[in-house]
Amino acid sequence: MVDSSKFQFEEGKSPLATLRDLLGGISQEDLARRLGVTVVTISRWERGVTPTTLTVPQAKALQRELKSIGMDIADLPDDLSKFHSSDPADRN
């Protein structure tokens, strides 16, 4: 399990890629299957090519995955493409 109170997403890395690592290093294909989307969609989301949009069933599936590692959807940044901190102190 992840201590979400201490967890921070890495600058410049997709939170979805980080999530895949936290889920045991699963592949984009595995995450796509679990969320009910295509591998191409996961790839585009991770690269920031298209915005991450989820249907209700997909959001519920994401919440289940997060819960399995002790996290909640509220622990994710609002943008699931490459993470850029809004805190100027994090940019140094």
Note the pLDDT tens digit of each residue in 1-23.
Answer: 555 445 678 888 899 999 999 99
In a domain, 58, yes or no: yes
Structurally, how many domains does the chain consist of? Answer: 1
Domain assignment present for 92: no
pLDDT digits (tens, 9 = 90+) for 46-74: 999 999 999 999 999 999 999 999 999 99
8 in the Ramachandran plot: left (φ > 0), alpha (ψ -120 to 50) or beta? beta
Work out the number of other CB atoms within 10 angstroms of the CB of residue 44.
Answer: 16
Residue 83 lies in a domain: no
Identify the domain containing residue 21 by its residue range.
15-76
CATH number, residue 26: 1.10.260
